Amino acid sequence: MLKILGFDEGGSESIRPLLGVSSGPIPYGEGVAAGFPDLSDQFQSLGVKSIRTQDYANGSFNVMYFFPERHAEASDPESYEWSQTDKAYQAILDIDADPFIRLGLSWRNMLDWGAFGIQNASGYAGYGPFWSGDKPLSTTMVEKGAEIFTTVVERYTDKQKWGSNPLENGYVEIWNEPNIIGINTVIKNNGFPNPSNQDQYEYSTEFPNYMWDGTPEQFYKFFADTALALKEKFPNLKIGGPGLHNVGLGLPKVQPPESNYKNEIGLEWTKNFLEYLSLRNVELDFFSWHLYSPEPQDYLTFYHATDKLLSEYGFGETEQILSEWNTLFDNDNASSVLGAAQVNAIWIALQNETDNLSQAIFCRGADGPFIPNGDGFPIMINSDGTNLGPENFGEYGVGLLTKDGAYKPSAYAFSFWSEMAGKEPIDLDRYYSNPSNDTGLYSLAGMRTGTLGRDLQILISHLQDQHDNEEIVLNI
């Protein structure tokens, strides 16, 4: 039980507007099932401040959508098809949100990609067209990716076209989860993988990952080439990436008999990546990473691990961006009241303990094209094409809103965050009867300067153990 008895003075800093979402607000584009509404009004009501150009189900911000023929000349304006991508971009500007440009491609089901010739995937829709040929993604990006993406950024910073530069001092993220397990891996054991050594789970250039079909070294080169080209032409933009999948930080650690082998090779990928960027003298303005977990402490562990890793490789001043996050998806948890309490606690923890985190982008704004009870994320498959890890989404996707724009519990939490942003934070820890970290209690208080506390807001999540009946008193 929580009792609140009063309030105190505010501080001097502001609560950060960690109010980004993935995708939206317009309907999901031509070629996708009809009937999805424009959610601009809902996004504005929620207080969305930035939108990451990821997971548009028609693929409109994917490189193979606006550059459909991979053998075309990157320097030829006729090689590009901008109509749907422009439409999605304009919709972001129309609600006064900041575009957070993700260069690359969105999540796509490996089976839908065509690995092993299997095309009947369930879960999300296909996310638009894809190139054909032998390792088309890595081959094209290494050859001409930097030139293609320079053209993209030129277009979306064009003052004449948009009336101003929408990306003035903005963010451009290169890629999304290039290291996900399995990146370039073959799973050699049957059943859901718990690899413990190279014989069971090893790097291989023969197995396509849904985000990168070449070697890690090819990705490092492509990333550095692109970052250097963009920084030379757009020095005021913040250039970074790579939208790291969580295993790239060697976390979360598991206890025996579970194995940390995936974390070991994931951390090796990231160390090699940062070492390569350092050798190429790449100016990394921000480092982005992803996490889906119901535990606030996991996010703090990842944040501090990232901070340590960046410092080790000479990137101590680099901003951190959490460019995808949410609680667990399984069985509608992300759409439940408990899920809302979890993401609220996470957001509070990020505010209280991650000073160098400049953005947090919730995945995602709305459910979008979604097949109820689909197989979820079959991103790990055996060499015969069978899915190793079907997960049941339940009746909903993972958005703040349903596909029709109705609020889920997490949307109400997000709206509270919007109300808190910009206020002066008040430290409540000294007012608790018990240390908040020991009770599963997460809280954030704020008020506007000069209001004498009349607009005081306190945001609380108590992730209480079901057997814990201890009373907690907040005496302020």
Q: What would the pLDDT profile of 426-470 be if each residue is shown by its tens digit? A: 877 766 655 555 668 899 999 887 666 678 889 999 887 654 666
Contact 9, 39 (CB under 8 A): no
Place of tokens 């992730």: 463
The CA distance from 243 to 144, in Å, is 21
The predicted structure's pLDDT at residue 331: 74
The predicted structure's pLDDT at residue 183: 42
Exposure string (b/e) for 163-181, b if CB count within 10 Å is 16 or more?
eebbbeebbbbbbbbbbbb
The predicted structure's pLDDT at residue 191: 45
Contact 270, 179 (CB under 8 A): yes
Strands (E), 149-256: 171-174, 185-187, 201-203, 238-244
Strands (E), 298-382: 319-326, 357-362
The predicted structure's pLDDT at residue 472: 63
The predicted structure's pLDDT at residue 266: 84
Per-residue confidence of the chain (476 residues) as pLDDT tens digits? 444 444 444 445 799 999 999 999 987 655 454 567 889 999 999 999 999 999 887 778 999 999 999 999 999 999 999 998 999 999 999 999 999 999 998 866 444 444 444 444 444 445 567 787 778 889 999 999 999 999 999 999 999 999 999 999 999 999 999 987 654 444 444 444 455 555 555 555 555 566 888 888 999 999 999 999 999 999 999 999 999 988 888 887 777 766 677 778 889 999 999 999 999 999 999 999 999 999 999 999 999 999 999 999 999 999 999 999 999 887 788 899 999 999 999 999 999 999 999 999 999 999 865 555 444 444 455 555 555 554 556 677 789 998 889 999 999 999 999 999 999 998 777 666 555 556 688 999 998 876 666 788 899 998 876 546 666 666 65
From 176, 204, 181, 372, select the one nearest 264 (Cα to Cα). Answer: 181
From 230, 249, 342, select the one nearest 287 (Cα to Cα). Answer: 249
Q: Which residues contact 466 (CB under 8 A, 6 or more apart)?
A: none
From 260, 264, 249, select the one nearest 301 (Cα to Cα). Answer: 249
Cα–chain center distance at 113: 21
The predicted structure's pLDDT at residue 198: 55
∠ CA 231-358-474, nearest 5°, is: 175
